Structure 1
């Protein structure tokens, strides 16, 4: 940073602040004493940026999706919630409800639901990932296997005609494990996820009960959902 400050004739604090901003936007990866460009795969090939930056993307649509998804629950329901920006907003939406049992690998989600109504919350343990404040890894997957729930409310990185995809292998494993332990899977996804190029396959449409989104999906996705026979689309407007 000292070299950059000298070359650009600005203060060291200005350089530090700009690097923090670029890191939050996903353009660079900041580390102690410097920074480096993020990989092409993470920035130009449709990958996802840092969690904090993604929280601000498509916020009105995500809030409406979260509100619509919360209306699907009733007292006594048990549910898995995975880590994602839309599921954090979903946790805010259900925080005022009571009588739910929530199992999650997200510290944010556990805190939000616990601070609301009279709900029981289980936080899955495992390897801690700082960016999204989540637990992942084999220990987390093992602990998920000790539960059974009625619902899973999940977010993913990408959706196409084949089903759900993601960009993070560890998060994909969490979603797969939750899907195996529930009766109904509900996916929360705004239109930016449609026909995005994912890397890891989460599951096909035959295992999805509902898709809650902010607009009608493209024809190839709608046709795939109809062909699966078990999926329904809940479209919300904002």
Structure 2
């Protein structure tokens, strides 16, 4: 007999915790008393479940229940091995919005590196400013592309430069187009799990006539620690799926074009 056919009180601990996580995906907060009633167990059992899920980083424990965890990401090396086909399709669609000879700003990230690889294969005579060594490396395969590396302190985990020197340098750039990734996308805007990276993306978004966010569907409705722009400042979102719910409504209100390959 499957868990769906069992009374809620007879769910295994693993299935009960799966239900808790699913409930948090449907709504941003949960209360202990409500969960106990819904799952037919004691509040003490729910508290133990929440404590365990919190210790595993799957939720954020609060006094009376739980909230969704702030967005966090694997290392850049790990991300390069994830969702490869989805990111390649996002990259192909993004490249159609870039013209030969344009000045671009491309932020660091796994998806933006896929975009850079596609641009190197299809475009010519670009001038690209980037904080990312991975982006610079894949662009370098095209000898017609000029690459300008942003100065600053090196983040070895992300392979990017950051800090006041980076922000100052970006502030003196004018670009046709900025292409940026994100840890999370909510109705508030795109956000990043790293405050320093978010500061860099914020500066980049302010120095381009047009801003495109490239992010796969796993970023939808995830709140990372630092929002770096607002949707009215963004021209388009390129993703492998169309967002729904509050995120979709926010994009529509802001007039953001949503591109799904």
Q: 1:82 aligns with which of 96, 101, 107?
A: 107
| Equivalent in the alignment of 2:51 | none
| Equivalent in the alignment of 2:248 | 222
Flag structure 1 segments of 5+ consecutive residues without an equivalent: 1-39
| Equivalent in the alignment of 1:24 | none
Residues 124-203 of structure 1 mapped to structure 2, 5 A cutoff: 124-203=150-229
TM (norm. structure 2) is 0.72
Q: 1:58 to 1:43 in 2, by over 3 A?
A: farther
How many residues in Structure 1 have an aligned counterpart in Structure 2? 196
- The 1-side partners of 2:140 and 2:151 are apart by 17
Structure 1 residue 74 displacement after superposition: 1.0
Structure 1 residue 117 displacement after superposition: 4.3
Q: For the Cα contact (< 8 Å) 1:41–1:47, is it kept in 2?
A: no
Residues 62-141 of structure 1 mapped to structure 2, 5 A cutoff: 62-96=87-121, 97-141=123-167
1:206 lines up with 2:232 in the alignment: yes
Q: 1:149 to 1:173 in 2, by over 3 A?
A: same
Residues 54-65 of structure 1 mapped to structure 2, 5 A cutoff: 54-65=79-90
CA RMSD of aligned residues (A): 1.5
- The 2-side partners of 1:174 and 1:59 are apart by 25
Runs of 4+ in structure 1 over 4 Å off:
40-43
Question: Is the radius of gyration larger for structure 1 or structure 2?
Answer: 2
